[in-house]
Amino acid sequence: MRFAGNIGRRIKKSDRNGYLFVLPYVIYFLAFVAYPLVFSIILMFHRWNIVTPMEWIGLKNFVRMIHDPLFFKSVGNTLIFLLIHIPLQIIVALGFALLLNSKMKFRNLYRAVYFMPVVVSGVVVTILWQQLYSYDYGVLNSVFTSLGLPRIPWLVNASFAMPSIAIMATWKNVGIYIILFLVGLQNIPGELYEAANLDGATHVKQFFHVTLPILNPTIVAIVVLSTIGGFSLFIEPYVLTGGGPMQSTLSTMLYIYNQAFYFDHMGYAATLGIVFAMIIMAVVVVQRKVIESEI
């Protein structure tokens, strides 16, 4: 009682404008965050095609998931994508950031062009790479054959397709990470390198013992950001391969999308969404722990 009275007094003393200003957010939160969260938990225990009434089925959605090889394959595909995409992105971004981290002519031009794929729609990027990757007429295979190398079945072979999508996603996003690394590099005090020079450390040693440890927070941020982004991989396989060949590029988001909007399995799709979100959060937590301690 006294507790409630206390809160009442504190609300009375509060600035009315404060409540007015945050009211839109509170309404938004209730409608578009809280309600969907609660409703997705309800959906987990139901079978529903959105038209007929919901049917309570207990834990059957979970049982079905456990026996659904395609769901696990899609999670595996997404993990393969991340395992190629993230290291590749960090190496390429760090490489270009090191190249750009000095005074030179046209520095802004380089930066601007490298950043260009970041701003355009993923659909544009996908259309372009579909042509670049074409087996018979693609630019990449033309270059390869003119160098006397064999043609590569970029999108038509099940073991090449996901790596090809990972390369494309790296091309699209690396600009942002070049900038993040550049910011990180510019924060390194020059005295550190002078001291390392006096100690006779080689450039390679300086890189591994001065540059890399200081960039650690940037690397953590990049890994976490691109993990979260990578787990939502959807439009690239949707447009480029439709999940094929042989389901090798079926990402989890694409699978959930198909379950919900192609087969109208709302309850099952919601279940997969929740389980997938748990996987994402677990992976991010583990990543943070590992990278922060390792480098």
Partner 1 sequence: MMSKILKYVLLLAGLIVFGYPFVWMIIGSLKPELEISNLKLWSSMLTFNSYSQVFQKIPIGRAFLNSMFVSVSVTTLVVVLGSMVGYALAKLRFFGKSILYLLILFTMMIPFQITLIPQYVLMVKLGWTDTYLSLIIPSMMSGLSIILFRQFFLSVPQALIDAARIDGCSELHILFRLIWPLSKPVIITVAILTFMASWNDVLWPLIVVRDRSLMTMPQLVTIFVIGGEAESQLGSLLAAATLLALPVIIAYTFFQKYFIESMASSGIKG
CA pair distance 219, 291, nearest whole angstrom:
8
CB-wise, 22 or 91, nearer to partner 1?
Answer: 22
Q: Which amino acid is at 274?
A: I
Q: Which residues in the 48-67 window bind partner 1 by CB under 8 A?
A: 50
What are the start-end ranges of the E strands in the chain? Answer: 46-47, 55-56
Q: How many chain residues interact with partner 1 (CB under 8 A)?
A: 90
CA pair distance 242, 236, nearest whole angstrom:
9
CB-wise, 163 or 243, nearer to partner 1?
Answer: 243
Q: Which amino acid is at 3?
A: F
Q: Which residues in the 135-154 window bind partner 1 by CB under 8 A?
A: 137, 139, 142-143
Q: Does 72 bind partner 1 (CB under 8 A)?
A: no
Contact of 210 with 192, CB cutoff 8 Å: yes
CA pair distance 44, 22, nearest whole angstrom:
32
Shortest Cβ 277–partner 1 spacing (Å): 4
CB-wise, 76 or 122, nearer to partner 1?
Answer: 122
Q: Which residues in the 88-107 window bind partner 1 by CB under 8 A?
A: 95-96, 99-100
Shortest Cβ 102–partner 1 spacing (Å): 9
Out of 64, 111, 209, 288, point to the residue binding partner 1 (CB under 8 A): 111
Question: CA nearest 228: which of 276, 268, 181?
Answer: 276
Tell me the C-alpha to C-alpha distance, in Å, between residue 142 and each of 146, 158, 166.
6, 21, 21
CB-wise, 180 or 215, nearer to partner 1?
Answer: 180
Q: Which residues in the 15-34 window bind partner 1 by CB under 8 A?
A: 15, 17-19, 21-22, 24-26, 28-29, 31-33
Residue 284's contacts (CB-CB under 8 Å, 6 or more residues apart) are 224, 227, 228
Q: Does 110 bind partner 1 (CB under 8 A)?
A: yes
Q: Does 280 bind partner 1 (CB under 8 A)?
A: yes
CA pair distance 143, 92, nearest whole angstrom:
21
Out of 83, 132, 220, 291, point to the residue binding partner 1 (CB under 8 A): 132
What are the residues facing 55 on neighbouring strands? 47
Q: Which residues in the 241-270 window bind partner 1 by CB under 8 A?
A: 242, 253, 256-257, 260-261, 266, 269-270
CB-wise, 60 or 107, nearer to partner 1?
Answer: 107
Q: Does 35 bind partner 1 (CB under 8 A)?
A: yes
Q: Which residues in the 175-234 window bind partner 1 by CB under 8 A?
A: 175-177, 179-180, 183, 221-222, 225, 228, 231-232, 234
Q: Does 282 bind partner 1 (CB under 8 A)?
A: no
Contact of 138 with 144, CB cutoff 8 Å: no
Half-sphere exposure of 265 (CA within 13 A, CB side): 17
> Which stretch, 67-75, 79-87, 134-142, 149-157, contacts partner 1 (CB under 8 A)?
134-142
Matching residue, tokens 């922060």: 292
Q: Does 273 bind partner 1 (CB under 8 A)?
A: yes
Q: Does 133 bind partner 1 (CB under 8 A)?
A: no
Q: State yes or no: cis peptide before 245, omega within 30 of 0.
A: yes
